[in-house]
C-alpha cells in the first residue's frame, strides 16, 4: 500500500487494513476502541466518546442533508455504547465561495436534529480554505455520552443471541447516489433514512433488555457491520434474506446498478444483538417506536466458524456474506 485510495474510506476490507497498519500500529493500545464509541472511566461515571467526519455529495438529498447526517450519525455512535447522548462539538472546513444561505440551512438542520434527540452542540471550530482546496463543506463532529449499561460492545455477542435489524436497508446510500447522478426523477419513494435513534435505543435500556451488541450499519452496510461483530466476538452469524426488509424501489435501483443492497450505507438503522430470551420483548418495543416500525429479527449468532457471516437465501441455499471491498459509493457520509 503506497497511496490512499477512495476504498480506504469505504468501511470495508481496505479501510480495516488501513486502520490496523497505519493507526493501530502507531498509537493503538489495549484501550483503543474497535467499537463506534470508546468508553472511558471518569470518577464513578463511565463516559462514551466518539468522533466522525462527513463529506457527503450532494449536501442536500431526499430525506436529509449533511447537517442532519452529522448529528444523527454521531448520536447513533454514542447509542451503540448504551450511552445517553449529552453533548456534541461541530467543526467546519468551508470552501471559499460557499453561499452563506447554504451554511445557514445546514446549521439550522443540525440544531433541529440535535433538539429532536435531546443533545446540545456546545463547541466547535471553523476554517476556510481557498476555492478548489475542498468541496464546499466538510464537517467533523465529536460526541459525549453517559454510559447507562457497561459491556455493550461488538466483542460481546454470544452464540444463541438473536439479531434484530430496526428497519429497511440501503435507503441512505441509494438516495445519495441517485441524487448525485440526477437519477431520482420519478424515484420519490427513495429517501435517506438519516435519523437519530435515541428514543428507540434508550427505551430498550430502560426496559432492562439483555442487549449485548449494537452497531449502526453505515459505510459497508449490514454486511460490513455483521462481519465486524463476528470478528470482534469470534462468533459466526446467519441471517435470513427473506426477513431483511428492503424498500422495493431501493431493491430495484440496486439491482439495476449492480449493487449488493446489504453493502449499501444506512444512516438511521441499528443492528441490535440481544439474548434469545429477550428478543421478542425487544422487538415489540422497537416496533412501537417512530424509527422501528419495520424492525425484524433477521437471524442468530452461532459459534463456528468464528468470524463468518452467512445468508440463508430465499431459495433455501446459503452463501457467505463477505465484507465489502472497493468503493462502490464514494462520498455518501
Contact 126, 94 (CB under 8 A): yes
pTM confidence score: 0.93
Domains defined for the chain, CATH in brackets: 32-147 (3.30.1330.10), 162-320 (3.90.650.10)
Can you give the pLDDT at residue 200? Answer: 98
β pairing state of 236-240 and 83-95: unpaired
Reported as a pLDDT band with limits 50, 70 and 90, residue 186 is low
pLDDT of 25 higher than 90: no
Can you give the pLDDT at residue 29? Answer: 67
Q: Of 23-32, 100-109, 242-251, 318-327, which gets the smallest average pLDDT?
A: 23-32
The CA distance from 244 to 313, in Å, is 11
| pLDDT tens-place string over residues 45-98 | 999 999 999 999 999 999 999 999 999 999 999 999 999 999 999 999 999 999
| pLDDT tens-place string over residues 254-284 | 999 899 999 999 999 999 999 999 999 999 9
Sign of the Cα torsion 155, 141, 194, 93 reads negative
Amino acid at each position: 500500500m503506497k497511496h490512499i485510495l477512495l476504498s480506504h474510506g469505504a468501511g470495508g476490507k481496505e479501510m480495516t487494513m488501513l486502520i490496523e497498519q497505519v493507526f493501530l500500529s502507531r498509537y493503538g493500545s489495549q484501550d483503543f476502541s474497535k467499537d463506534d464509541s470508546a468508553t472511558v472511566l471518569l470518577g464513578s461515571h463511565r463516559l462514551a466518546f466518539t468522533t466522525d467526519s462527513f463529506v457527503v455529495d450532494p449536501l442536500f438529498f431526499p430525506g436529509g442533508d449533511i447537517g442532519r447526517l452529522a448529528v444523527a450519525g454521531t448520536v447513533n455512535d454514542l447509542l451503540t455504547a448504551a450511552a445517553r447522548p449529552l453533548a456534541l462539538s461541530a467543526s467546519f472546513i468551508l470552501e471559499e465561495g460557499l453561499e452563506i444561505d447554504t451554511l445557514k440551512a445546514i446549521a439550522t438542520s443540525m440544531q433541529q436534529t440535535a433538539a429532536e434527540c435531546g443533545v446540545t452542540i456546545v463547541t466547535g471550530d471553523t476554517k476556510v480554505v481557498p476555492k478548489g482546496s475542498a468541496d464546499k463543506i466538510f464537517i467533523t463532529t465529536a460526541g459525549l455520552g453517559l454510559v447507562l449499561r457497561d459491556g455493550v460492545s461488538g466483542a460481546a455477542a454470544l452464540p444463541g443471541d438473536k439479531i434484530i435489524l430496526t428497519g429497511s436497508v440501503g435507503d441512505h446510500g441509494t438516495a445519495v447516489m441517485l441524487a448525485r447522478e440526477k437519477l431520482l426523477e420519478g424515484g420519490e419513494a427513495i429517501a435517506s433514512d438519516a435519523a437519530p435513534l435515541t428514543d428507540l435505543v434508550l427505551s430498550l435500556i430502560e426496559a432492562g433488555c439483555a442487549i449485548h451488541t449494537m452497531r449502526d450499519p453505515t459505510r459497508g452496510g449490514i454486511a460490513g457491520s455483521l462481519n465486524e461483530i463476528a470478528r470482534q466476538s469470534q462468533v459466526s452469524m446467519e441471517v435470513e434474506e427473506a426477513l431483511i426488509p428492503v424498500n422495493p424501489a431501493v431493491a430495484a435501483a440496486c439491482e439495476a446498478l449492480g449493487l449488493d443492497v446489504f453493502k449499501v450505507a444506512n444512516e438511521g438503522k441499528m443492528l441490535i444483538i440481544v439474548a434469545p430470551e429477550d428478543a421478542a420483548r425487544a422487538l415489540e418495543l422497537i416496533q412501537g417506536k417512530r424509527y422501528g416500525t419495520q424492525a425484524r429479527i433477521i437471524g442468530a449468532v452461532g459459534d463456528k466458524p468464528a468470524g463468518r457471516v452467512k445468508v440463508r437465501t430465499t431459495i433455501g441455499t446459503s452463501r457467505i456474506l463477505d465484507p465489502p471491498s472497493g468503493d462502490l459509493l464514494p462520498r455518501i457520509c
